[in-house]
Amino acid sequence: MNIEALNNIIKEHQVPIGIVASYTKYPGGFSNITYAIKTNNGNYVLRTPPPGANIKSAHDMGREYKVLQLLLPHFSKIPIPIFYSEDISVTGAPFYIMQALEGIILRAHSAPKMNITEETFRSLSEKMIDTLVALHAIDIKKTELVQLGKPEGYVTRQVEGWIKRYYASETDEIDSMNKTAEWLKQYRPIDQQPSLLHNDFKYDNVIFDTDLQNIVGVLDWEMCTVGDPLMDFGAMLAYWFEAGEGDVFTNFNLTWLPGNYKRHELIEAYAAKTGRDLSDINFYYVFGLFKNAVIAQQIYHRWKQGHSSDPRFGQLIHMVKMLGEKAVDSV
């Protein structure tokens, strides 16, 4: 990142954060790049796309910035957006700056070492589902959040779109992915009342307070839109691996740790709190698994093209295959 170029932009646009003295790249993550930036006024966060990404898709910084602006009056658990720029001299792509929230992000590699009790994890599971329910309860028409997408036909567009993305980034012939794609095209779930969707709701996109009592922030709004809320819930379920489902999955979430809700408990809690019909929930879960596999495939495809030297990305093809097999088993 070019600090000199960033400070020139800050001065030119009178961005109220002070002069940037240093920055640190946050570790982990497979999508947009996030930097902690330190100024004479305090700490802030800068977000920008990864190298080689299609910035008109999920890596559109301008859209993510707009999402935060629209959501801020109606949902307090987000960082305050401060400034957006299309100037590529800082990171090589558009970027935006937002408030830095203080707290703890629980990650797969660190949470097992934190001696978190089963009772605490049970409470955290409940906080996770309560927060998603609160997001889905926002009136998208009264708040004008409906402008973020087109709720009608959302499920069909998503199924068709993610299948198209998969084959556009395909590098290996994977039978389970082909079978899952065909099944998803044939299945038609019951229509749901549309709502706001986060679309990537999981532990490492949430900030808890230092006592692990409450959620203080939800991060990574790059895929936020409006549509069938069970697509959002299905995505959460697809990240919610349980103990005994494969050691490799423990590297990608911490939901297998003792005390966390089981997936069926999440489903029961969501149904009770929303009153929604979840008779088709397996479709949404399978789609979530498929979508996660496609995301991994896209990142692996970029790595194969030489856009990243990160060795983690080169191993993602194995995750694609395992998620495809899990989807077929669920079908």
pLDDT tens-digit map of 295-316: 999 999 989 888 877 888 888 9
Model confidence at 189: pLDDT above 90: yes
pTM of the model: 0.88
Residue 191, pLDDT score: 87
Share of the chain above pLDDT 70, in %: 96
CA separation, residue 97 to residues 26, 35, 40 (Å): 14, 9, 15
The span from the CA of 221 to the CA of 213, in Å, is 23
The tokens describing 85, both together, are: 């720029």
Task: Provide the 3-class DSSP secondary structure of residue 233.
Answer: helix
Average pLDDT of the chain to the nearest whole number: 93
End-to-end CA distance of the chain: 45
The residues facing 137 across adjacent strands are none
The span from the CA of 97 to the CA of 45, in Å, is 6
- Map out the domains of the chain with their CATH numbers: 3-99 (3.30.200.20), 111-330 (3.90.1200.10)
Model confidence at 28: pLDDT above 80: no
